[in-house]
Amino acid sequence: MKPQPGPNHPTPLSISAAVKSAGARKDWAAALLCLHDSKALKALSQRWHPLALAPPMAAMGVCARASAWTGALQVLDALGACSLRPDLYILGSALSACDRGYVWSAALRILSRVETHGLPVSEVLVNSATTACDKGNQWTVSLRLLADFRAKRCLDSLIGYSAAMSSCARFELHWARSLVLFDWLQHHFTPDIIACNSVMHACATGAAVAVARHTLTRMQQHGPSPDQVTFNTFLMSLSNSHAWWQCLEVLQHQREQGPWPSVVTYNAVLSSLGDESSWPWSFVLLEAMRGDKIAPDIVTHGSIVNTLARASQSSIAISFLSMLERDRAATNEVVYSAAVSACEGGRLWKESIALIGRARRRKLKMDAVVYGAACSTCQKSQRWEHALSFFETARDQSLSSSPLSNAALSSCADSAHWFRALHLFRRAFSSQVEADTTSHNACLTACIRRWETALYLLGSASGHQAQPDTVGFNAALAALGADSAWSTCTWGQALSTYRSMQRHGVETDMFGLNSAMTAVARCSKWAEGGAILTEIGSASLEADELAISTFMASCSSRRQWVTALILLPSLLQDDRELEGHDAGPLAAALAGMVSACQGLDASGPVPGLLSRLRWELTS
């Protein structure tokens, strides 16, 4: 039953009583209904002016306590409709409702009304608006508020600057602004624990361990005394720097001198572990938590599984998860996601499939990250069918991401299923996901036997805003070098691709140069091959046996023995260690050069060639 607006002749006290009654029931909507009769409110403003704002003040207090920012705006609108001017209490309560409701834009609109009502802008109002901006991650707005109101000489507030610092601290690109604000703050105020914790949070975001340590030392010497939040954020900065041994020292300090560590403290230390020497500490810390009567939570279990995954302890991670599954409340999507990621390092594709099946039976919702890790595991295990199956399952659930699509593409590339890779490429990047450089590289690698398609993909990369890199160009050059037709078009395209690589400023390596050399040599284009071989030195690279032997083979086929013999001195004087290398290509090229020298009037080079050939065959 809806509450009635009141008797025929309402009084401020009767309306206020009805509003407060609704507020006691925590029913802010019912409190607003008591104000819906605008005529009654207007009559109140004319007959009982000193008490006319009492009902709206009561309603605004109810909305502020309930974080009902929409209700607060309705009260302000009702006041405007009745030609009533709100006072500072009503506007402050409205700002408090917006602050608690995380609605920074509404808070700014309310703050802008203060001066229009002829009221002074107080520090309390600006602090509430700045705090709302902080909760909404609007660091630029917070700084602008501070600058505007400081210019008007109405704000020099420790609370306002602390809120702005806290807002900047959440962003990796802007955490340093918190340090600038804190430096200014120290010259005008005595920083309180909130301000110090804000700058510690900024140090954790930026992994500024030295600044965090200096701030903590200063707090211990000059105050305010660091609390549990201070130590937790300091541990987070150490954790982000993977300083796990220092994290253990801080934890021991807290256990001895306080403040006593919490589950957040242990979770921060656990997140710093992950290399081969530190992962056993995760179980030591778990036992320490139980000894301190601190109950591990979901974050604790997820951190331990993540630690085992980073340390490539896949089997232990799966065993630990199996133990956790006895308690249904001890696992969630995050823990299973970490376990699937652990399978990737050990290439445990069967286990990753089983883990996702177990998560589904528990009615847990897997995201694109989990399916991407499972795809990557299957790809590294040469199980492209299962990788594609995971990709299709994710698409059926409207899940998509670039890492997921790239893992599925890479599985096709490793198995040379170029047609499947192309089909997957068109489907994956048709709408929701943007193709990146990794996507094009995987598809290019799959087209190792389809050089026309590889060149088309290389050209379309810029259209997808994916800049071709060395891997992509090398894949296209390898496709051209592997062409069995050995056509004139192939070597021309190889040279054109190689020149395009240089124009784009892409770094060249011996893999790409050898692929281009192979494509040119197969068509017996010895002059072009010589040009590429000359450019190897200018690229600060050393020509390997494959490049030189390919060039010599092309010279031999065209009986260009004079050109080839120019390179022989550097080849015969090469004392590089060849152990472990395949001497077959170079030996074949030397044998070809001996044959090419049959037309010489003088047999001067032949003994040296035979000597080198004998050494290559016996080494």
Q: Is the peptide bond before 224 cis (omega within 30 degrees of 0)?
A: yes
C-alpha distance from residue 583 to each of 13, 451, 533, 552, 610 (Å) = 102, 28, 19, 14, 15
Encoded amino acid at 520, one letter: V
Tell me the mean pLDDT in the region 193-209. Answer: 80
φ, ψ dihedrals at 422, nearest 5°: -65, -45
pLDDT in tens, 373-394: 888 888 788 787 887 788 778 7
Map residue 125 onto helix, strand or coil. helix
Res 264: pLDDT = 92
Res 574: pLDDT = 46
d(CA 405, CA 436): 10
d(CA 182, CA 195): 7
pLDDT band at 267; cut points 50, 70, 90: very high
pLDDT band at 285; cut points 50, 70, 90: very high
Q: What is the mean pLDDT of the chain?
A: 71
Encoded amino acid at 325, one letter: E
8 Å CB contact between 580 and 564: no
User: Pick from 103, 85, 87, 86: which is nearest to 95 by CA?
Assistant: 103
Residue 172 has pLDDT above 60, yes or no: no
**Contact partners, residue 480, CB within 8 Å, separation at least 6:** 451, 454, 455, 490, 491, 493, 494, 497, 515, 516, 519
8 Å CB contact between 237 and 212: yes
pLDDT band at 38; cut points 50, 70, 90: very low
User: Pick from 192, 111, 109, 175: which is nearest to 137 by CA?
Assistant: 175
135 versus 230: the higher-pLDDT residue is 230
Tell me the mean pLDDT in the region 239-252. Answer: 87
Res 580: pLDDT = 44
The number of helix segments (H) and strand segments (E) in the chain equals 35, 0
Tell me the mean pLDDT in the region 183-207. Answer: 76
Where is 441: in which H helix or E strand? helix 437-446
Res 468: pLDDT = 72
Helices (H), 187-332: 193-206, 209-222, 228-240, 244-257, 263-271, 281-291, 298-310, 314-324
Whole-structure pTM value: 0.57
Q: Where is mean pLDDT largest: 9-18, 297-306, 396-405, 565-574? A: 297-306
Q: Where is mean pLDDT largest: 102-106, 358-362, 526-530, 607-611? A: 358-362
Q: What percent of the chain has pLDDT over 70?
A: 52
Tell me the mean pLDDT in the region 191-196. Answer: 80
Res 598: pLDDT = 56
**Domain boundaries in the chain?**
1-120
pLDDT in tens, 6-17: 445 555 556 666
Q: Is the peptide bond before 12 cis (omega within 30 degrees of 0)?
A: no
User: Pick from 272, 267, 318: which is nearest to 297 by CA?
Assistant: 267
pLDDT in tens, 493-524: 776 777 777 777 777 777 766 777 666 666 55
